[in-house]
Structures are given as structure tokens and as C-alpha cells.
Amino acid sequence: MRIAVIGSGIGGLSSAIRLAKKGHSVSVFERNDTYGGKLGIIKLNKYSFDTGPSLLTMPHLIDELFQMHGENPRDYFNYRKKDIHCKYFWDDKTNFTAFSDKSKYINEAVSKFYIEKDSLLKYFSRSKKKYDLINELFLFRPINKISTYLNFDTVKALLNLKLFQLFSSLDQVNNNDIGNRYMIQVFNRYATYNGSSPYLTPGIMTIIQHLENHYGTHVCDEGMRQIPTSMYELCRKIGVKFHFNKSVESIIVKNKEATGIKLNNKILKFDKVISNVDVNITYKKLLNDKTYLSNKKNMSSSALIFFWGINREFKDLDLHNILFSNDYKEEFKNIFEKNEITNDPTIYINITSKDIKNVSPKGCENWFVMINSPKDIGQDWDKIKNTLRKNIIEKINKNFSVNIQDHIVEERVFTPKDISINTNSYLGSLYGESSNGILSPLRRHQNFSRSIKNLYFCGGTVHPGGGIPLCIMSSKIVSDLIEKSN
């Protein structure tokens, strides 16, 4: 079959790789001059920064794409497991190092926070059981098809329904199971991995902790940009065709069936069409359907990012670092209820120069400083970023006894509005709809169209969700659906 993929993000690239393996002729259309979607790169003189997702976990899912074509992934890219997941800091000088080794992790938590070892072991065990029960059932299958549930996996999940803690928030689960306020905040943070609030997302989301602690966090030898670059190189080798600087005008639909795309006022015919574009943008711009639009209240958080070239090194920091807000609940209330950023936000600092060569001058560091923010609904982002910059600097200075402003020699800022424009994301939301609420999985758009035959969806704004692993999972769902449709 002739298949068109609109968008070359991780979901689009991995869909192309899978479908080419099945013998189909795949063409990828990208409005930008390069591939990768949110996984981009910017350079500020001698400093280089990844622009998108900075966390690599479950890398075996990427390896699988190469192995299915008989290729050695290490010929394309390499990565290594980190000894430390993340370093956490609080304003009262408390700090916590989350080691990748589970024994060291638990011992650190026990010694720092006086948590009972058995409590943590039980917590991680329950998280693993949740993941094992829903892994194949929900993450690798279309959620809106009856056939997904007609199997033994569904029976097992139903028999263990209480284990999922669906009717408690992630914060409530962490309070009941852990109790220590520092550790609760560490575990609550995982809600932000899909742009949600720990006070609204259900307790089943402890599976994210399991994924990070079980599979670990990794770093690519050449940074996150190496992931789409390697996938692009594989695509070219296996015959996938790419068309850059080609903004698809619309998806052609005849008799409720997708028959191709419109490009430069010309109609190109295809047997199947896959959109790796934000699902809201797909309907609004590519299908001219104004009736479908996600509820703004349900959208995930966005981000405000400062790219700082720092002219010194900080030995106490690692690749991933968190400076926590003193009022976490208020921070998320501001984001999801008031569409504002608190004056004391949690700060994420990613420093790839800790592990990667030639991304900053010698003796210097490249800081990717990210703040969780509300979606873009027309706020005055210039005013917000100026106020936020002062608050961030004050918090960093307090935590590390430094005048960080004296060491910033390069700077660029991305606001949610910039993210919306640069990545074609509805309202600048990073993950489409959030996972706030028990019904959130059902709100997320499925991987196929019920009303338009031969139209499919992949990527972070559809099932199963955002982030590199889930985008790759969406490509498997789409490729399986296309095969079953014949």
C-alpha cells in the first residue's frame, strides 16, 4: 500500500519504520526543514541544547525498531545507563539523590527521610504489579476497540481492580503509602511526566515510578537529538521517502474515506493516511472540522524554558536536577485552575554537558531550565517570563549560594506560545490532554478515525500518551490496525 505520514516526530518516524518492514511504500511529509518534532536542537554560539524531551527511558523500544530490520542499533546511536536518576533539592537545604540502583535508592531514602524500608519495597512492588497488569492491555492496543478487552488480560485486570487505586489521586496514594513529605513530593512529580497534576491524576500513575526505577534513565552519547537522527537514517536506508518544507494543506476525504493529501494545490493519492500532527490541529486545519476540539480545561501543562549558557561548572549537579517548590499543591492549582505560574515554581535543570562532550566550552555548562506552566490562552508571556526569570534566579541563588545571573553568558527563552508555534501544538500543551481524572484515558483520542476510513493517528496527543516510549507504542498500535484492516 501507499501510505502517507504527516509529521516526522517520533511517532511518525517509528510508524514509517514499522510499515516499511511490512512492505508498504511510505512517504513522510514534514512542514519544517528537518525531522524530529519536539526533539530539536538549538545552538547559542559554543553552547548546544536539546529543545524537547530530555529524559530517555525504556530505550529497548527504540532498539527494537532497528532490530526488526536486521540492523544493529549501536551502528546508529549509543546510550548508557545513568547511575543517578535525578538530584532533588529543597530550600531548607534538604537534598536527595535518586540512584538507579534500587538498594542504594532505598537506603538513601531511609537514611535521609527515616522512611521504613518495607514501605518503599511494598510501594515499588505494587507499582510493578499495576504495570504488569495493564501493560499489554492498554499501552500496546487500541483503547476504543472491543477486541482489546476480549482476552485473559482483561480478566486479570478486573480481578485486581482495587490494586489500581483509580479512585484516589496520586497524591493521596503517596500520602497513604509513604507519609514523608519530601518523598511524597518526589513521587508526586511523576504526574508531570505527562503534563498532569498529582492532585488530580489517579493513583494508577504510580506505574511511571516503576518504569523509571525498573528500566532506569539513560543518556545518548550525542544527546537526545541523536534518537530522531538515527531513526531518520534507518528510514532512508529502508526506502522511506521524505518531503521537507512541505506543509500539507488538507487530508482528502471522499465518501467518508481518506484517499490522500493536498499539497501545493495538488492532490496526492494514498491508500492510508497517518497524522503525527497534534490531533486538534489535524481536525481543525487538515480536516477542516471545527466540531472536534479538546476541552481546554482538560489540556496538559505546557512549559517555559530558559536556555542558559553558564560560564562555570557546578559539581553538586547532575544531568537531571529538581529544585522543589515549597507549596507544591498551590503550584498545580495555579497551573490548572488559574492558568498562572506561582512565584515559587519547581525548577527542572537539565545539563547535558555533564555527560556529553562538545555541547559547551570547557569548564562551562549548558543549562536547560524548565518550569511547568499553564497552556497558552493569551497570557502576557513577555511579562510572565521577566517576573519568572527573577524568581528562578533567586531560588537558584538560595539553593546553591551563588549569583547565577553573573554566570549566564548566553540565553534564549521559549514560552508556551513559542512552543505552540514551533511544534504545532494546540494551546502549547506538551502532551495533548492531561491525565487528570479517572476518565482521562477514555478522553484521549484513539489511534484511528471512527468516521473516516483509512485515517490513523499517532504521537503524543493520542493514545497511549506523550513521551518517547508512548509515542513509539502508538506507532505499533497504528501499524497493527493497518495490517488488520486489509
- Give pLDDT tens digits for 194-228: 999 999 999 989 998 888 988 999 999 999 999 99
Question: At 442, is the pLDDT very low, low, confident or very high (cuts 50, 70, 90)?
Answer: confident
Lowest mean pLDDT among 16-30, 142-156, 372-386: 142-156
pLDDT at 134: 79
What are the extents of the domains in the chain? 2-41+56-80+222-293+438-484
The Cα diameter of the chain in Å comes to 67
For residue 446, the SS3 value is: coil
Tens digit of each residue's pLDDT (9 = 90 or more) over 48-78: 999 988 999 999 999 999 999 999 999 999 9
pLDDT at 145: 63
pLDDT at 157: 61
249: alpha, beta or left, given left = phi > 0 and alpha = psi -120 to 50?
A: alpha
Q: What's the whole-model pTM score?
A: 0.94
| 309, three cell numbers | 549558557
User: 482489546: which residue's cell?
Assistant: 148
Q: Tell me the pLDDT of the chain averaged across its residues.
A: 93
Strand partners, 367: 308
User: What would the DSSP string read from start to end of 166-219?
Assistant: TTSBHHHHHHHHT--HHHHHHHHGGGGGGT--TTTSBGGGGHHHHHHHHH--EE
pLDDT at 147: 60
CATH fold of the domain at 2-41+56-80+222-293+438-484: FAD/NAD(P)-binding domain (3.50.50)
Tens digit of each residue's pLDDT (9 = 90 or more) over 101-160: 999 999 999 999 999 999 999 999 999 998 888 776 666 667 666 665 555 566 566 657
Selection from 28, 34, 21 nearest residue 5 by Cα:
28
